[in-house]
Amino acid sequence: MPSDLAEFVRGLPKAELHLHLEGTLEPELKFRLARRNGIELPEHTVEEVRQTYDFHDLTSFLQVYYPAMRVLQQAPDFHDLAYEYLRRAHAQGVRHVEMFFDPQAHTGRGVPFGTVIGGYRSAIVRARREFGISAELILCFLRDYSAEYAMATLLEALPYRDWIIGVGLDSDERGNPPSKFAAVFDRARREGFLLTMHCDIDQQNSVEHIRQALEDIGVDRLDHGTNIVEDDRLVELAESRGVAFTCCPVSNSFVTTQMKAAEITGLLERGLLVTVNSDDPAYFGAYAADNYLALAEHAGLTTDRLAELARNSFRASWITETRRDGYLAEIDAYVAGTARIDSVPG
């Protein structure tokens, strides 16, 4: 019964580990911020904005994603973006979130780094107080820009290091392998940041990029990364190191032809630390619980499997062991109080 399953999934305590703050810009907020900043938008209704969401791959998504950000100009704009997301995440049973932000998408158009991170940080503090949700920031470098610009951004971030838990790598992967940023990630690790990195779905050289991320960079997590199923040796390496995968089924169905449910559930069955996340929920129309439900309905997952995905989200998160054990106990209590509901493959 999908509606009961929806309720189960919404109530399931979970962490979200693959979420781009700039990907949470809903059309309504975009209009509000455009008005606030005196910006004329080409679209005039929410429907017109959604009509531009005609994605068939990562590149066509990014062509819509970056121009939309120009409505973000002052610290209160960044605050409102993060606060609205945290409110929605809380309503979907998310207890803890580690959120990507793309400072270069803002500093590159003249918005100071401090304005961006100051706005985000004040929303995190407010949401913690109002909803009890905890949140951390992961600084992502844009991989289609130079390694020198990434290094300069890392240095610009150092005064704010207490507000940033880790660094990541996103944007257009074509021709921009992990190795391009080896020195930046090495410096970031030495500065005390945890490391993650996008290895997007079905890219040119996906498997080689995953190999570089695991062997040459030594990432703690991989964002997407499900093309690893093509190489058993790398699967074994990821398993032996406890490297987590932050999968985003609904996003996958927008930037490729499928959710990649077989790859995601296959890795889960092999015992890898697979998690489910929303990526850019305003653009793909699905927040965290919606992604669990979509995968469950598509792959016929039971509540046991969904609970395992939620446990993995805390195991893969960068919280303390004490907090992690607390969340795992909450999941056990939640599952014990809920009858088993089997999903119907869709």
Q: Taking CB within 5 to 8 Å according to partner kind, which of ligand HPA, Zn ion, none is near residue 200?
A: ligand HPA
280 annotated as belonging to a binding site for a ligand? yes
Span 217-276, contacts to ligand HPA by CB under 6 A: 251
Among residues 31 and 141, whose Cβ is nearest to Zn ion? 141
Residue choice 84, 136, 200, 220 for contact with ligand HPA (CB under 6 A): 200
Q: What single letter denotes the amino acid at residue 265? A: T
18 annotated as belonging to a binding site for a ligand? yes
Return phi, psi of residue 74, to 5°: -110, 165
Nearest residue relative to ligand HPA (C-beta): 170
The answer to whether residue 102 forms part of the interface with Zn ion (CB under 5 A) is: no
The DSSP secondary-structure symbol of 73 reads -
Span 144-173, contacts to ligand HPA by CB under 6 A: 170-171
The neighbour count for residue 28, using CB atoms within 10 Å, is 12
144 annotated as belonging to a binding site for a ligand? no
| DSSP β-bridge partners for residue 194 | 166
Packed helices 147-157 and 113-131: angle between N→C axes, nearest 10 degrees: 60
* Residue 234 C-beta: closest distance to ligand HPA, Å: 20
Q: Convert residues 275-294 into a mask of x (bound to ligand HPA by CB under 6 A) and - (unbound).
A: ----xx--------------
311: left (phi over 0), alpha (psi -120 to 50) or beta: alpha
* Residue 205 C-beta: closest distance to ligand HPA, Å: 15
CA-CA-CA-CA dihedral for 320, 324, 327, 331, to nearest 10 = 170
Which uninterrupted H or E stretch holds 56?
none
72: left (phi over 0), alpha (psi -120 to 50) or beta: beta
Among residues 12 and 16, whose Cβ is nearest to ligand HPA? 16
Query: 97: Cβ–Cβ under 8 A, 6 or more apart, which residues?
Result: 15, 16, 17, 19, 86, 89, 133, 134, 135, 136
Q: Convert residues 275-304 into a mask of x (bound to Zn ion by CB under 5 A) and - (unbound).
A: ----x-------------------------
Q: Among residues 78, 80, 114, 91, which one has the least CA distance to residue 16?
A: 91
Span 5-24, contacts to ligand HPA by CB under 6 A: 20, 23
Query: 112: Cβ–Cβ under 8 A, 6 or more apart, which residues?
Result: none
The answer to whether residue 136 forms part of the interface with ligand HPA (CB under 6 A) is: no
* Residue 56 C-beta: closest distance to ligand HPA, Å: 14
* Residue 341 C-beta: closest distance to Zn ion, Å: 30
Binding positions for Zn(2+) are 18, 20, 198, 279
Please report, as ranges, the residues that interact with ligand HPA according to CB under 6 A: 20, 23, 58, 65, 170-171, 198, 200, 251, 279-280
Q: Binding site residues for substrate, as ranges? A: 280
**Binding interface with Zn ion (CB under 5 A):** 279
